[in-house]
Structure 1
């Protein structure tokens, strides 16, 4: 099976020192957001090479086996393959359904960031985006991050409305991973339309956690940045 070959290829590229380092980096310890995750110690560039090599011959069944893996790198490789299949598919909805069925395995920030806007964001560009707003309102950390990161696709097309609405929903979120994600998406809006981001911040900066605000204004002119930090 192709899934077995992919797992073997990743295992052959494993690095024990990296495998020991990654649980701390991804907070895979009791009480951490990555609690229970396991690591082979494979670099992302090597995962991308494995994904590219096996993508064409990987079936839905292979992907199901891979995405259910307890190993972080196997799940990320599965998602990289899934993005490739989605991009090339004539029936993209098939792979969107697969993604949505398996959201519980998209359970760390890099897994979300490597898939959400490439799959859900693109798929929803010309469709009702209610599912993203529903995800943002639910209490699942990873679905909330998927919701805001999916809007990156819209931002790249100069459509900011959903990002602003979801940012409002998540504005006082307690988790750093959501604060950083919201701030990042607001910054991406500002990279394209400084005034649009500034108007949003003027309205909401008092509610925003400092981490979110710092991410949002990272590329502001020094004077503007200082003003917001003093006011925030």
Structure 2
């Protein structure tokens, strides 16, 4: 193990909390057959992980690779947060492309919903904003839960800039996904679309909402005024 990796782990371990370490495996569904099977937790909260990540923003990819290879969830999250900070700090396209290429190469370590949500749209989504987005469509069709979630949540960057086409197209691909985690992901992005433009979301929902998974619909319409929200829930809009 590299010295920098040891330093980061030692720094993180100062924030360990045994009570949280006992709770988090249940929250992140780490039991046999569950989506987070095998994930290990040492009980460090995200704000503390961010503190450490900001101290090591220039850690090299070998260090990040070692952290991402760990079964400890918080170590992997630290590596991903370091990568997001590094990407934001460096404006050079070559530096950013190297970050994106590294991120894509480590997708098997980005294997829980919070790891996806804290990183993908800030790296992959940002990078693809003015580029060909085919990889998101390919991953939306992949038989790989985390690639599919990355495909959906990466669209957050486009939505924040008032660009909805790709988000809605990928939402269509994933609309009848069997996993609740994807229902929540799609619903979240639809809700964010509605925050930017309620009419776009309404027009999208009208021909689809009666067939949508209930969780997805509830997330999508969360910001609607109460009469409109109830009408959608009752199938009467």
Shared fold by TM > 0.5? yes
Structure 2 equivalent of residue 173 of structure 1: 177
The superposition leaves residues 46-103 of structure 1 with CA deviations (integer Å, 9 ceiling, x where unpaired) of 10000011213x1111011011111000000000000011112222100100000000
In 1, Cα distance between the equivalents of 2:226 and 2:43?
40
Distance 1:142 1:211 in 2: 19
CA distance in 2, matches of 1:189, 1:30: 35
Residue 226 of structure 1 corresponds to which residue in structure 2?
230
How far apart in 2 are the matches of 1:137 and 1:229?
28
Distance 1:76 1:11 in 2: 14
The corresponding residue for 1:114 is 118
TM-score, reference length from structure 2: 0.96
| Distance in 2 separating the partners of 1:107 and 1:142 | 6
CA distance in 2: counterparts of 1:115 and 1:79, whole angstroms: 6
The one-character-per-residue Cα deviations of 1:179-209 (angstroms, maximum 9, x if unpaired) are: 0010010000100100000000001112210
Is 1:46 the counterpart of 2:48? The answer is: yes
Q: What do the CA deviations read for 1:135-154 (whole angstroms, capped 9, x no partner)?
A: 00111111110000000000
Trace 1:65-144 onto structure 2 (pairs within 5 A): 65-89=66-90, 90=92, 91=94, 92-144=96-148
Counterpart CA distance in 2 for 1:18 and 1:9 is 18
> What residue ranges of structure 1 are gaps of 5+ in the alignment?
none
Structure 2 partner of 1:205: 209
In 2, Cα distance between equivalents of 1:55 and 1:191: 32
Q: What SS does the corresponding residue of 1:30 show, helix, strand or coil?
A: coil
Query: 1:33 — aligned with what?
Result: 35
Structure-1 separation of matches of 2:42 and 2:11: 11
- The separation in 1 between residues aligned to 2:122 and 2:142, in whole angstroms, is 22
Residue 155 in structure 1 maps to residue 162 in structure 2: no
- Superposed structure 1 runs of 4+ greater than 2 Å apart: none
The partner residue of 2:26 within 4, 24, 27 is 24
Q: Could you say what secondary structure the match of 1:191 adopts?
A: helix
SS of 2:218's partner is helix
For residue 116 of structure 1, report the CA deviation from its aligned partner.
0.6
Shift of 1:39: 0.7
SS at match of 1:203: coil
